[in-house]
Structure 1
Amino acid sequence: MSTSLIPFLEMNGSANEAIDLYVKVLDAKVTYMLRFRDMPENPEAPLPLEKKDWVNYAVLKIGDSELQITIMSLEAPTRRERKSPSLFKPTKKKKLSNISRH
């Protein structure tokens, strides 16, 4: 028996850029994409014109794997919050001093 995982990324307004990067760098194929302009609009909360092209949900095929992308919030990220899409997010190294070794 084999197990497969499907990563699900939540973007904050940068899904378009991330998808473009994955298509270019990883030869990803977009198998499904739903933009906000493709959805019925709520008349009580109209969507600003600049956000209609934002990706609400997308599925990419990368080799034999699948990657799903969605938006975390319709609120525009601040300049500090918005970063270029990256394949790898640097993490801080944590000291594992409380792990017992046998």
Structure 2
Amino acid sequence: MSTTLEIAIFLSMNGMAQEAIYFYKKYFNAQELLLVTYKDIAKRDPSIQITNENENYIAHSVLSIGKTKVMIAENIMDINEKYKVGNNTSLCIQSADLKEIAFFYKSLITDNRVRVIVPLSKNVFSEAYGEVFN
């Protein structure tokens, strides 16, 4: 197995992502590694509908706080759920090794407590992206 596996904290902020990023940068000296707005995503995928109200919302961001990566975006992972404190935190498991990701995904979904939200597939962010709930 590869040694590129990383686990990052993923926070869904319900319209408050920019404020959260500012907070972590100010008080924890977080370094901004990536910041993608809804407007940026719409440039990559014209089928995505944005409005003047949400064009500057954060689609995805990555901060480094010490040795920890924190990812922040607006939406909760399961779009079928309404945002509430408690369903706005998840873990992002990532690897540069696609075989490793496929192995872990296939292993996870064999557990009957795991529910697939988004099947592992390519998307605008990644060659191998999926979401599961456990």
| TM-score of the aligned structures, taking structure 1 as reference length | 0.60
| Structure 1 or 2: more strand by fraction | 2
| Structure 1 or 2: more helix by fraction | 2
- Residue aligned with 2:53, SS: helix
Identity %: 28
Query: Which position in structure 2 is the counterpart of 1:62?
Result: 65
Aligned residues: 70
Matched, 1:14 2:16: yes
Residues 22-41 of structure 1 aligned to structure 2 (within 5 Å): 22-40=24-42, 41=46
In 2, the alpha carbon distance for the partners of 1:47 and 1:57 equals 15
Residues 21-100 of structure 1 aligned to structure 2 (within 5 Å): 21-40=23-42, 41-42=46-47, 46-72=49-75
Uncovered stretches (5+) of structure 1, i.e. residues with no partner: 74-80, 82-102
> RMSD across aligned C-alpha pairs, in angstroms?
2.2
Name which one, 1 or 2, has greater alpha-carbon Rg. 1
Per the TM alignment, residue 65 of structure 1 is displaced from its structure 2 partner at its CA by: 1.1
What amino acid does structure 1 have at the position aligned with 2:30? A
> Runs of 4+ in structure 1 displaced over 6 angstroms?
none
Per the TM alignment, residue 46 of structure 1 is displaced from its structure 2 partner at its CA by: 3.5
Uncovered stretches (5+) of structure 2, i.e. residues with no partner: 1-5, 77-83, 85-134
Per the TM alignment, residue 5 of structure 1 is displaced from its structure 2 partner at its CA by: 4.2
- Residue aligned with 1:21, SS: helix
